[in-house]
Amino acid sequence: MFESFIEKLKNKSFLTLETTPKHSATFDPIIERIKDLGLHKKVDGFSVTDSPLAKMKYSSLFASLKLQNAFKKPTIATISMRDRNKIALQSGLLGANDVDIRAILALTGDPASMSDQPKAKGVFEGNSTLLLDIIKCFNGGIDFAGKPLEVRPKPIYPFAVANAFARNPKNLQKKMKLKLEHGALGIITQPVYSLENAKMLLELFQKAKIEAGDKSKDAELILGFFPITKLRTAQFLTSHVPGVDVPKSWSEKLFNAKEISNEAQDRVGLELSIKAFEEIYDLHPKMHLMAANNFALAKKIIDSRR
């Protein structure tokens, strides 16, 4: 399953869909919604977030297992450095490996100060590169302390993230290079909304690969996309999400449409999102779709592909 997944990432078009577990004791409603819309037939795999914004949610590892079992498609499980020390990270990876959860998105994680849990404290024994290094050890048959594992893990496929925008693009290149050097096979960006932004990221990624050397030759850039159908979403992404550049023209068009009606705002936002997604996908058909569990909207975006 994962071998063909990675092969598709390297050589063909590639599309994954993000899911976010809820503050609930079951993940089943998300699976049922995906099934009802037939989205599992339209993507190459899924990803599962790990308590984003430090808000406690259902386990990303268990949700990934349920998605894979339900749809027989690979799932990228996010693991945050915020909540686990080296012991818990490795223990979780071993258990996940045993049930074939083997694509891992290494994330440093949002600060615990944002949490909805009283006096929650972040662990942060390292940033995401520590988890990438642990995965490298596991793929070599040893734990992070260098001790051989009694049973060698099945291959683990590490992913990482990158911002989509920075005032100094060299900073993006430097961070991409670092994650490539630590073994990331795929780097997923924050949402991208223009061809200009996408082209810049692809150029920076190629430079980062050259600088990282042979160890990164098989790595690929995966452009993130989050459809915007409301002015408040554009404003939130612009003001509160670092590393995202929403074109000013989008906010202006959404503002003018909202003055007419909410329906006009939704229509204009959908048109803008579909056009951007099509253009970016035509340029680089390796994308990751995020829609905050608005799977009906995700379906409209995916179905727009020419």
The tens digit of pLDDT for each residue in 208-233 reads 999 998 878 889 999 999 999 999 99
In the three-class reduction of DSSP (H, G, I as helix; E, B as strand; rest coil), residue 299 is classed as: helix
Structural contact between residues 265 and 258, judged by C-beta atoms closer than 8 angstroms: yes
pLDDT of residue 234: 96
Catalogue the long-range contacts made by 32-38 (C-beta closer than 8 Å, 24 or more residues apart).
33/293, 33/295, 34/71, 34/295, 35/70, 35/71, 37/295, 37/296, 37/299, 38/299
Average pLDDT rounded to a whole number, residues 190-199:
97
% pLDDT > 90, the chain = 94
The CA distances from residue 214 to 131, 181, 209, 211, 279, in Å, are 21, 9, 8, 9, 31
DSSP-assigned letter for residue 216: G
pLDDT above 70 (res 241): yes
For the domain 2-303, what is the CATH code?
3.20.20.220
Domain ranges of the chain: 2-303
Average pLDDT rounded to a whole number, residues 122-140:
96
Question: How do residues 247-261 score in pLDDT, each as one tens digit?
Answer: 999 999 999 999 999
The C-alpha atoms of residue 25 and residue 14 are separated, in whole angstroms, by 31
pLDDT of residue 240: 85
Question: How do residues 37-84 score in pLDDT, each as one tens digit?
Answer: 999 999 999 999 999 999 999 999 999 999 999 999 999 999 999 999
Average pLDDT of the residues of the chain: 96
The C-alpha atoms of residue 100 and residue 110 are separated, in whole angstroms, by 27
pLDDT of residue 279: 97
Question: How do residues 13-30 score in pLDDT, each as one tens digit?
Answer: 999 999 999 999 999 999
pLDDT of residue 306: 59
% pLDDT > 70, the chain = 100
- DSSP secondary structure letters along 144-187: TTSPBPSSPPPP-EEEEEE-S--SSHHHHHHHHHHHHHTT-SEE
